A and B are shown apart, each in its own frame.
Chain A
């Protein structure tokens, strides 16, 4: 846990240094807003993801929608939405991959307008930023995933199980 906090701080520092020369450098208050929004997204929505991935997505979308005029907050919600889904992608929970892609697309749009680097954004949610940023870029490079489809039965010799459930 302590290592995690340390890594988190280092990441934040590196992120801030790495893009310090960028135009529109966000203020400390804006960083705080970003982090707080990410935390709020986690507190309000993350517990729903293992029971109902769609409920999780709805919860994040609703938070983002209600903060449409506050880009840093909106970015924090959407970025957490992405990381939360990514966290369940590592154990291949059904239905989280399209959600991760959806939030990836939507946070990227806002990230551009804020001038935040990947490292700065990554620092808003605890975790290994080197790996997470690599995963993010890999997802963007990969072909777009198939649209979310309904669950379907796969039957063998009259015995069926649900593919993707």
Chain B
């Protein structure tokens, strides 16, 4: 009996409050009429609660034509009036640390609870920022609030409750069903009890992560970089062949099958610096394949900026590559999807710290929210602040890369204040461990640039998915604040995925987090799979797609980019490859270097003979006589080195020439037939010199004397030993650690600058600009 009496009094009090609120609205309306104002508008009442009442929360009402604000009472009840407003409307309850949303389509009642928040999320895309949805609500988005959509969204809420095993206690309408919230003086009704159960029910969520894929959708050989992984095998180890998009797709499918609450994410460098089959079509193939595997959101990496922000936005939004310079040919190097289209990445690129300096805002979205029934995960995506150091200036023009920590902490706090259950950071920055097998979760000897970022993260961050260092790790990283943050990275080229398990509770947050690195092990006989790991078969759909793109890339390689009037061979004497003698093709390549960097006013270019991998023949199978195919140039110059400019004095240039025959180059390359030794550099047009083949070779570094004194000329003028000349060469010679003994360039080159221009691009452009090229006349004179 006392219980019934309390319920009666509670209901009576609620009735009194409702009557009071109604009277207040009537009085306000009367006052407005008396003052000559309009009485039109919409009054909405309800209760804001999460099980417990949301007391003293700000209520914001946005209707078509008007807005209103109010505060909740101690029992979470509210009434709010939007002057001039008509339905549909959206509601927001803001406690200062959490925001919940709701909708009004008809009538004057709307509760605001975690279930209405879920309903609002369901109204838009699967993943929606409900705070942004509310802030941007207006006539254009009002159509989303149709009765039919509300009905479907409500059904989805009940379906998720059912799948989570939460009894609904007769609740059939989360928006309008009476809600009496629990307070210190009243118990909650059946509706409130459902909210209590929701709040106390943990939800398992699975995140599948990759990083540094770099367009490697083809299967890599066992010996290729990224083609294998070392797995623990009891107290020993096993090295297995891994990777390939068709196998990756199966691994992802298998993981998804374990938990419907899943999302696949990336931590940057998913494209660019990619193999020919992807690079030839500006990585559209990679985007298509990752779309179909199901990546949903990714941070940008430094390589996403390789071709500039405009191109990155095309990759995101779709559209064909701009036509010009032989590129942007629909069906050949762009718009290879059905109907000659490219729809762009279905996954959202996030760039929280990449600011468009003209607007002061991120150039791409900063965050992405994914809802899994009663819980949600907010993702923040960003790249390393030092991205401009590894990208051409053009690629990042008009962009500012902000400090990672400041940006993460800002958005993490915002996301938590918006009510997301957990915050995950997708960052293209990483670390390294000293583990020697994959999936060593002790994370031994962890070091690297990401440490200083992790150490300063605020308590709102729950998970960090990283990349950039091409390493693999699963760490529970202890921050100085005492919080342990799960940190993952998967290696590179699609070798593996991180399978991350989060347990989340609505209104509580992250309850537990763990992860495994799952290698993409191919089911092939040479792979002996250790206990605890599994091999997979190819996914047929993705396999077919990979084959299609490889086939298209072969066709695209047949594009004619120039013409020759004669063969241009590596060696002048037609013996094929001979690094000990002047190379006609190396000289043409040097010419392309010089013309490839027009803005740098370079004087001379040098090419190492080893950079020229094939002769260019006028007549060959599969092409018209004299035609030069893209694939031919890509075969001749396949390394994708960047062109670099640097300064050398005339004296240093002569030392560079002497290095051609100094030890150890004198024995590295020899030709008994011509009695020549050493590595002869390709030189650009206008640069000439004479050397004496009878003079001693193999002198110690810095003491060779084969170049005939006074013979070195640039455009017919003797080289000035004291003068500084600007040199163009490739990054292998300019910065390599073992640059074929040409250390004058690496060690003495001053004011080195990476032009970020790829040697092959310069080579192709040179052939496009110079039709009917012939083998150039010799530039080096050999005495004896």
- Within the complex, what minimum Cβ distance (angstroms) separates B767 from chain A? 16
Segment touching A, from B246-254, B399-407, B469-477: B469-477
Q: What separation, in Å, do the CA atoms of A118 and B433 have in the docked complex? A: 20
Q: A46, B631: Cβ atoms under 8 Å?
A: no
Q: What separation, in Å, do the CA atoms of A84 and B444 have in the docked complex? A: 12
- Within the complex, what minimum Cβ distance (angstroms) separates A90 from chain B? 4
- Within the complex, what minimum Cβ distance (angstroms) separates B240 from chain A? 10
Enumerate chain B residues within 8 angstroms of A7, measured Cβ to Cβ.
Answer: 442, 444
Enumerate chain B residues within 8 angstroms of A134, measured Cβ to Cβ.
Answer: 235-237
| A31-58 residues at the B interface, CB under 8 angstroms | 42-43, 46-47, 49-50, 52, 54-55, 57-58
8 Å CB contact of A92 from B228, B235, B610, B632: B228
Enumerate chain A residues within 8 angstroms of B266, measured Cβ to Cβ.
Answer: none
8 Å CB contact of B472 from A43, A54, A91: A91
- Within the complex, what minimum Cβ distance (angstroms) separates B608 from chain A? 10
Residue of B nearest to A96 (CB): B225
- Within the complex, what minimum Cβ distance (angstroms) separates B272 from chain A? 15
Residue-wise, chain A 96-132 has the 8 Å CB interface mask toward B (1 for contact) of: 0000000000000000000000000000011110111
Q: B235, A158: Cβ atoms under 8 Å?
A: no
Enumerate chain B residues within 8 angstroms of A158, measured Cβ to Cβ.
Answer: 554, 557-558, 622, 629, 631-632, 635
Enumerate chain B residues within 8 angstroms of A57, measured Cβ to Cβ.
Answer: 737
Question: With an 8 A cutoff between CB atoms, is B434 at the interface?
Answer: yes
Enumerate chain B residues within 8 angstroms of A162, measured Cβ to Cβ.
Answer: 638-640
Enumerate chain A residues within 8 angstroms of B221, measured Cβ to Cβ.
Answer: 163
Enumerate chain B residues within 8 angstroms of A42, measured Cβ to Cβ.
Answer: 434, 445, 447
- Within the complex, what minimum Cβ distance (angstroms) separates B691 from chain A? 25
User: How many residues does chain A have at the interface if contact means C-beta atoms less than 8 Å apart?
Assistant: 53
Decide: A127 near B610, CB < 8 A? Known: A90-B229, A160-B635: no
- Within the complex, what minimum Cβ distance (angstroms) separates B497 from chain A? 14
Q: What separation, in Å, do the CA atoms of A82 and B54 have in the docked complex? A: 59
- Within the complex, what minimum Cβ distance (angstroms) separates A99 from chain B? 11
Q: B445, A125: Cβ atoms under 8 Å?
A: yes
Enumerate chain A residues within 8 angstroms of B438, measured Cβ to Cβ.
Answer: 90-91
Q: What separation, in Å, do the CA atoms of A155 and B440 have in the docked complex? A: 37
Query: How many B residues are at the interface, by size bracket?
Result: 35 or more
Which one of A49, A134, A158, A165 has the highest number of Cβ atoms from chain B below 10 Å of its Cβ?
A: A158
Q: What separation, in Å, do the CA atoms of A95 and B640 have in the docked complex? A: 17
- Within the complex, what minimum Cβ distance (angstroms) separates A98 from chain B? 11
Q: A161, B223: Cβ atoms under 8 Å?
A: no
Which one of A126, A130, A156 has the highest number of Cβ atoms from chain B below 10 Å of its Cβ?
A: A126
Q: B442, A159: Cβ atoms under 8 Å?
A: no
Enumerate chain A residues within 8 angstroms of B629, measured Cβ to Cβ.
Answer: 158
Residue of A nearest to B275 (CB): A161
Enumerate chain A residues within 8 angstroms of B434, measured Cβ to Cβ.
Answer: 42, 83-84, 87, 125-127
Residue of B nearest to A6 (CB): B442
8 Å CB contact of A1 from B228, B476, B613, B634: B476
8 Å CB contact of A90 from B230, B635, B640: B230
Q: What separation, in Å, do the CA atoms of A3 and B478 have in the docked complex? A: 13
Question: With an 8 A cutoff between CB atoms, is A151 at the interface?
Answer: yes
Residue of B nearest to A163 (CB): B224
Q: B276, A160: Cβ atoms under 8 Å?
A: yes
Residue of B nearest to A56 (CB): B737
Question: With an 8 A cutoff between CB atoms, is B411 at the interface?
Answer: no
Q: A58, B444: Cβ atoms under 8 Å?
A: no
Q: A131, B232: Cβ atoms under 8 Å?
A: yes
Q: What separation, in Å, do the CA atoms of A161 and B471 have in the docked complex? A: 23
- Within the complex, what minimum Cβ distance (angstroms) separates A57 from chain B? 7
Question: With an 8 A cutoff between CB atoms, is A144 at the interface?
Answer: no
Q: A152, B275: Cβ atoms under 8 Å?
A: no
Q: B631, A1: Cβ atoms under 8 Å?
A: no
Which one of A43, A84, A125, A153 has the highest number of Cβ atoms from chain B below 10 Å of its Cβ?
A: A153
Residue of A nearest to B274 (CB): A161
Decide: A87 near B436, CB < 8 A? Known: A131-B237, A158-B558: yes
Q: What separation, in Å, do the CA atoms of A160 and B275 have in the docked complex? A: 9
Q: B224, A83: Cβ atoms under 8 Å?
A: no
Question: With an 8 A cutoff between CB atoms, is A4 at the interface?
Answer: yes
Q: A92, B225: Cβ atoms under 8 Å?
A: yes
- Within the complex, what minimum Cβ distance (angstroms) separates B428 from chain A? 13
Which residue numbers of A lie inside 8 Å of B, CB to CB?
1, 3-4, 7-8, 42-43, 46-47, 49-50, 52, 54-55, 57-58, 83-84, 86-95, 125-128, 130-132, 134-135, 138, 150-153, 155-165
Starting from the known contacts A153-B638, A165-B639, 7 additional A-B residue pairs (CB-CB under 8 Å) come to A43-B447, A47-B469, A92-B239, A127-B433, A127-B444, A159-B631, A162-B638
**Interface pairs (26), CB distance under 8 Å:** A1-B442, A1-B446, A4-B442, A7-B444, A42-B434, A46-B432, A47-B448, A50-B432, A54-B737, A83-B436, A87-B436, A90-B438, A91-B229, A128-B435, A128-B440, A132-B436, A138-B236, A150-B610, A155-B635, A156-B554, A158-B554, A160-B635, A161-B275, A163-B221, A164-B223, A165-B225
Which residue numbers of B lie inside 8 Å of A, CB to CB?
221, 223-230, 232, 235-237, 239, 275-277, 432-438, 440, 442-449, 468-472, 475-478, 491-492, 495, 550, 553-554, 557-558, 610, 613, 622, 629, 631-632, 634-635, 638-640, 736-738
Instruction: Please name the 5 residue pairs, one residue from A and one from B, whose CB atoms are nearest each other, closest first.
Output: A54-B737, A94-B225, A158-B631, A4-B442, A126-B444
